[in-house]
Amino acid sequence: MYQTTIKKPVELVGIGLHKGSPVKLRLEPLEDNSGIIFYRSDVDVAIPLIPQNVVDTKMATVIGKDGFVISTIEHILSAVYAYGIDNLKIIVDADEVPVMDGSSASFCMLLEEAGIKELYSPKKIMRIKKDVIVQEGDKYVKLSPSPDLKYDFRIKFPHPVIQKQEYILKFTKESYKEEISRARTFGFLHEVQYLRSKGLALGGSLENAIVLDEKKVLNPEGLRFTDEFVRHKILDAIGDMSLIGMNFVGNYEAMAGSHDLNHKLTLKLLKNADNFEVIELVDEKTKELEKAYA
């Protein structure tokens, strides 16, 4: 199995969640061993996708370099990771990725339009060898060894529509598209009002997020899944874990996980080389590992 990129450049325009202004997003192919590179065309700054470039994790995963940032990268990365793309240039002309409908479905469609191209170097994949956990109070995120890839996420909110939810995704590209990609980000009306008072979430609307008041969902069309909230948390986690730098094989488990805990988990994982091994998918012994990313 070989590394991949996209066959041709593709682009779209969408609204930025925080500024509320149009943002142009363009994807371009890259050569073997280039990795994922973000590029801000408005300021001519390239930001490689590595954990050391993460500068904020409060409300989204934000990367930065030389004082310039790109916010809300997790949704597009979730799609890129699910499609097993190893090398890609992601170009935006502002400081955030467009939010689209609050899910990763638009980015999946964009990747389908671009097509996937095999390159010449063997694909690398990370196998988790030891349990790695980050815990803060009753919240935690954990990686553990497994012959396949699974995401097991639990959330608990004191809201009548959400309450306790758990979802287990046995990861394949197809299961991601069908079960996860359409799950939208969500927020509470009082939080949106507060953020707007601070000049944030200016692009947020019922078109790109699930919004709840104290009792109900305000979106007239309702939910796409009864457990859309926890499914979106898995979507976010998949995007956040792409900071590892390659696809991995192992179990991801979370209780009330967050962008911040996911970032701390990637740092803790990579800090000790005994936690993992990097495998090149080049022979019969690695065939089982290829299935998820075929």
Same domain, 147 and 92: no
Domain limit, last residue, from 75, 108, 123? 123
Same domain, 283 and 145: yes
> Which pLDDT belongs to residue 59?
83
Same domain, 6 and 113: yes
**Number of structural domains the chain divides into:** 2
Same domain, 215 and 255: yes
Same domain, 93 and 48: yes
CATH classification of the domain holding 263? 3.30.1700.10
Same domain, 96 and 140: no
Answer whether 17's CB lies under 8 Å from 208's CB.
yes
| Residues of the domain holding 49 | 2-123
pTM for the model stands at: 0.94
Same domain, 259 and 129: yes
> Which pLDDT belongs to residue 282?
80
Domain limit, last residue, from 123, 152, 186? 123
> Which pLDDT belongs to residue 292?
59
Domain limit, last residue, from 123, 143, 174? 123
> Which pLDDT belongs to residue 35?
96
> Which pLDDT belongs to residue 145?
97
Same domain, 92 and 131: no
> Which pLDDT belongs to residue 289?
62
Q: Which of 18, 75, 259, 263 is catalytic?
A: 259
Same domain, 114 and 132: no
Same domain, 175 and 186: yes
Among this protein's residues, is 259 annotated catalytic? yes
Same domain, 99 and 140: no
CATH classification of the domain holding 59? 3.30.230.20
Same domain, 134 and 275: yes
pLDDT mean by block of 10 residues, the chain; 294 residues: 96 89 96 97 96 92 95 97 97 96 97 96 95 97 95 95 96 96 92 72 82 93 97 98 94 97 97 95 64 59
> Which pLDDT belongs to residue 287?
62
